[in-house]
Amino acid sequence: MNPRVSVIVPVYNEGAAIVRCMERMLREMLLPAEVLIVHDLPEDTTVAYVAQIARTDPRVRAVHNTYGRGPANAIRFGIDAALAPVAVVTMADGCDDPRQIDELARLVDRGVVVAAASRYMPGGQQVGGPRLKRAMSRWAGRSLYWFARVGTRDATNSFKAYDTAFVREVGIESRTGFEIGLELTAKATRLRLPVAEIPTIWLDRPLGESHFDLGRFLPGYLRWYLFAYGRRLSREKLGARVAPVVAPAAHSPEYEQTA
């Protein structure tokens, strides 16, 4: 059976913690799906546990990212490897609600190119996380919603579904951090393509420690925040402005949590 949704999960040394995350995800998804666990290195501690899960559930497979280390490259690689017309990006740390994967995918089926799980719309909530990061994310989301008309109050959240044809057409320029969600939302806005949202309850990562480096990732977020405010672009103009971006050299892994 061909999958209707490809779930992209970037990982870094999750070890046995991935089992609980996958059990919840596989239990909640009803649409025909594939789950791509994208890792940078063959010796990643997640791989052995994913192999165990894959023996009993063929929807799951580990995928070795060859685009360069880091979550942005893993997400790019996962979307390029996706077989389904819809790709959902979610994290391996348990912060996102797997019950909403199908709901986000169905929004894309209905014609939106980006479907966002929103912490900041009515019915949404963010539980835990660094206070400054929460405040900046909320301010960015609401200002983009009201002034740039991006179609979601939570443009920075990584938990989103995408039309894979749209992503492959506009490309992904981000190479560090998790600003891909904001980049693709901003590009859809400039092209005047539909973006939609559903409320979500985001829980701070219950397992492990986050090393989200706000200072390092902020320039990328700021770039796409400002880009969203521009005039309407045609597909041709958007393609012309995208300069080739070289993948960075190997650096310390960044897979920890969403923005």
pLDDT in tens, 25-40: 999 999 999 999 999 9
Question: Residue 255, CB half-sphere, CA atoms under 13 Å: how many?
Answer: 26
Q: Please state the rounded mean pLDDT for residues 182-209.
A: 89
Residue 126 φ/ψ, nearest 5 degrees: -120, 120
Residues 40-95: tens digit of each pLDDT: 999 999 999 999 999 999 999 999 999 999 999 999 999 999 999 999 999 999 89
Residue 236 φ/ψ, nearest 5 degrees: -65, -45
Q: Is the pTM of this model over 0.95?
A: no
Identify whether the C-beta of residue 108 lies closer than 8 Å to the C-beta of residue 163: yes
Over the chain, what is the mean pLDDT?
89
More confident site: 138 or 251: 138
Helices (H), the chain: 17-28, 46-56, 71-81, 101-109, 131-143, 164-170, 180-190, 214-227, 235-241
Residue 33: predicted pLDDT: 98
At residue 248, does pLDDT exceed 60?
Answer: no
Residue 237: predicted pLDDT: 85
- What is each CA distance from 216 to 223, 239, 240, in whole angstroms? 13, 27, 28
Residue 129: predicted pLDDT: 81
More confident site: 80 or 254: 80
